[in-house]
Amino acid sequence: MPAQIGRGRRPRRSASMRCHGRTSRPWTRWGRIRRGWCLGGSVNVREDLKSVSIRYNPAPISWVGLLYAMAEHELYEPVQNFVNLRFAPSVHPKYGFQYSIVEVTAKAGIYGEGQWTRPDLSLVTLWRNKYAPTLHLDLYGFEVKALGSASLLAVHEALAQGRLLHYSYLALHVDKENPLNSKIRESCRSHGVGLITFSNPRNPDCYNILESAQRGRPSLNAIDEFIESRFAESTRRKIEQLIRTGAYFDEESSSS
């Protein structure tokens, strides 16, 4: 809902307000602008109140983008579906077995560690080559950004999470009016952060893996801490069981 001018006490001096998200509290106290959602812009009021201008300059979003536009937390489920249906199978060994599970971990983790230690989604894979006696465990993190919120800061956020993971990915919602910034892709490539873009969140075929993440070297203690504090208890028990048995499971019992 755009900002609206209403009755109220006159402000003492001219003022301007950046209008991102909800209008600021001082304006609601004056009663000059009702609180509401807006797309970005500015509001300027002269001291004598003879001139009031409201200018909106939102980032352009196509009609297709508006059709599929979703808040970040609403993207977790469709991105999780993509990881299950397309991403996990893409890292499955050609000859061998794999157990994989992805969970939403945006609010998981130890309190006080910081937001940049919490990937929005996390994938754990346990895999073994067909003729190899050893079992491997890999951790993947996915930082999800909604339409119009991609930035270089998001790349560094995913990069910071990489110290706890083997592979860190940035998943961006883009459209024709909000294409991927080439600097973001270059930054992902230079820092070893994987990059995934998608236009229709609910269609797994609309996802593109533009950059593959480089493998990190988290410590064994960091891996234990990450799994223990971010995955559900049932998942942790399954992981322990597979590790103890050496993951000698067949294709029917594996998920990919």
- Residues 75-99 pLDDT 10s: 999 999 999 999 999 999 999 989 9
Q: Does pLDDT of 240 surpass 80?
A: yes
Report strand pairing: 96-104 vs 52-56.
unpaired
Per-residue pLDDT at 118: 82
> 30 in a domain, yes or no?
yes
For residue 88, the one-letter residue type is A
Which residues share a beta bridge with 194?
169
Per-residue pLDDT at 35: 34
d(CA 70, CA 248): 41
Higher pLDDT, 44 or 101: 101
- How many helices (H) and strands (E) the chain has is answered by 8, 11
Q: Are residues 44 and 102 in the same domain?
A: no
Which residues, other chains included, contact 48 with Cβ-Cβ below 8 Å and sequence gap of 6+? Answer: none
Angle at 157 between CA 142 and CA 175, to 5 degrees: 60
* Domain span including residue 36: 15-56
Q: Are residues 85 and 211 in the same domain?
A: yes
Q: Are residues 68 and 52 in the same domain?
A: no
- pTM beyond 0.75: the answer is no
